[in-house]
Amino acid sequence: MNRKRFVAGNWKMNTSMNEGFQLLKDIMDRVSESDLETCDVSIFAPFTHLKVFQNTLNGSLMQLGAQNCHHEEAGAYTGEISADMLASVPVAQVLVGHSERRQYFGETNELLAKKVDQVLKHGMQAVYCYGETLDQREDESYIEVVTNQISTGLFHLSAEEIVKVTLAYEPVWAIGTGKTASAGQAQEIHAHTRSILREKYGEEISAQLRILYGGSVKPSNALELFSMPDIDGGLIGGAALNAQSFEAIIKA
């Protein structure tokens, strides 16, 4: 199965409107249409930037994503952003379950299942993040932890729905720490992920689903990680804030 590569930049809570606009323009100048024919590229920008970015990207193959949404449809949730609002921008994708949301905002697998439903209901794709903490890796419970994150967050979806989801394995101990999982460590979890997707949805669907790796991906390690058979691209944090590094990762 030939899965199209996918590199996504998660800007987190970084860049003013002007800085963000300049960074987007720099990335657009560097990433060619031929890069985008072989690799999907999406920018997960802060909410405040989305409409301007959508206008700027109009006509480009580069896609736009949001970093979060609320799990309810609408209502008295001051300060929150709904999937319906994001679809009206429009954005193509929404990140669900980033470890920083799980860790700092107490998001559980059960809550994330509802967010995934909202994203799909409004016609967008979900990028569902999962991954173990350092303690869970060291006490060897990590396979069980990631299995539970995937099954509770996603396995209520039908076959027609799951194909609108990209998975992103991000070991918490590797995010923003400079410590990357080795290509072998990442491949182990990616292969496990694909095997549980196969058990649940069958060979054809599991072979078509994309599984990204995230956690201190940089130009120097991207090629080795992306060469693994079950790693289909990357979710990039720090290195996505530098147009040159982001371009080099896309080219890898």
Question: In the window 23-82, what residues touch ligand PEP (CB under 6 A)?
Answer: none
Please report whether residue 157 would count as binding ligand PEP according to CB under 6 A. no
Token pair of 12, please?
């987190």
- Nearest in space to 132 (alpha carbons), one of 120, 141, 122: 141
Peptide bond into 46 cis (omega under 30): no
Question: In the window 173-232, what residues touch ligand PEP (CB under 6 A)?
Answer: 175-176, 214-217
Strand partners, 6: 40, 233
Annotated catalytic residue 144: no
In this chain, which of 157, 197, 236, 252 binds ligand PEP, going by CB under 6 A? 236
Annotated catalytic residue 161: no
Question: Phi and psi at residue 108, in whole multiples of 5°?
Answer: -100, 165
Q: List, as one string, the DSSP characters of 64-81.
A: EEES---SSSSSS-TT--
Closest CB to ligand PEP among 12 and 30? 12
Catalytic residue of the set 71, 170, 190, 247: 170
In this chain, which of 107, 132, 170, 232 binds ligand PEP, going by CB under 6 A? 170
- The distance of closest approach from Cβ of residue 168 to ligand PEP in the complex, given in angstroms and rounded to an integer, is 7
β-bridge pairing 165-169 and 39-45? unpaired
In this chain, which of 5, 6, 10, 68 binds ligand PEP, going by CB under 6 A? 10
CA distance 42 to 64: 5
- Structural Rg of the chain based on CA atoms: 17
Contact by Cβ (8 Å): 126, 178: no
Q: Which among 118-126, 159-167, 202-210, 234-242 is the span making contact with ligand PEP, rule CB under 6 A?
A: 234-242
- Nearest in space to 91 (alpha carbons), one of 59, 129, 130, 45: 45
Contact by Cβ (8 Å): 69, 91: no
Closest CB to ligand PEP among 149 and 216? 216
- The distance of closest approach from Cβ of residue 34 to ligand PEP in the complex, given in angstroms and rounded to an integer, is 25
Binding residues for ligand PEP, rule CB under 6 A, total 14
Closest CB to ligand PEP among 9 and 162? 9
Q: SS3 for 33?
A: helix
Catalytic residue of the set 49, 70, 98, 190: 98
* Residues that are catalytic: 98, 170
**Binding residues vs ligand PEP (CB under 6 A):** 10, 12, 170, 175-176, 214-217, 235-239
